[in-house]
């Protein structure tokens, strides 16, 4: 679940092809979207990217606001994004791994 109080600004910066779990892939296939699912050499499924932008193929725009074309069937990672906010910022570049995965010594 996103952090309490989080509201999407519809900037589209988080919308890059997500990796899919089995349930996501099954749900998208049942929705008739099998052709939009790709598998990498390691056997992981993900949503194909838009050739020109590299963004998720299901990212749509209404003027300057982004939206998900498969919102009701969107993958779990998209439903739960962002898991954390750094200084109130949800953009992927703000969620740096050194902040998220820092080990604390006790």
Distance between alpha carbon 53 and the CA centroid of its chain, in Å? Answer: 15
Q: What is the pLDDT of residue 68?
A: 95
Residue 98, helix vs strand vs coil: helix
Contacts of residue 68, defined as CB under 8 A and 6 or more positions apart, other chains included, come to 15, 56, 58, 59, 60, 74, 78
Q: Is the pLDDT of residue 104 over 60?
A: no
The model's pLDDT over 10-45, given as tens digits with 9 standing for 90+, comes to 988 888 888 899 999 999 999 999 999 999 899 889
The model's pLDDT over 52-100, given as tens digits with 9 standing for 90+, comes to 988 999 999 999 999 999 999 999 988 888 766 666 666 665 444 444 4
Q: What is the pLDDT of residue 27?
A: 92
CB atoms within 10 A of CB 52: 6
């Amino acid at each position: 679940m996103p952090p309490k109080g989080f509201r999407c600004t519809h900037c589209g910066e988080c919308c890059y092809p997500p990796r899919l779990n089995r349930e996501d892939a099954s749900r998208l296939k049942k929705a008739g979207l099998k052709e939009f699912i790709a598998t990498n050499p390691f056997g992981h499924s993900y949503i194909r990217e838009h050739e020109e932008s590299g963004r998720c193929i299901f990212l749509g725009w209404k003027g300057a606001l982004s939206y998900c074309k498969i919102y009701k069937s969107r993958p779990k990672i998209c439903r739960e994004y962002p898991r954390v906010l750094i200084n109130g910022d949800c953009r992927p570049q703000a969620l740096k791994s050194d902040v998220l995965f820092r080990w604390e010594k006790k």
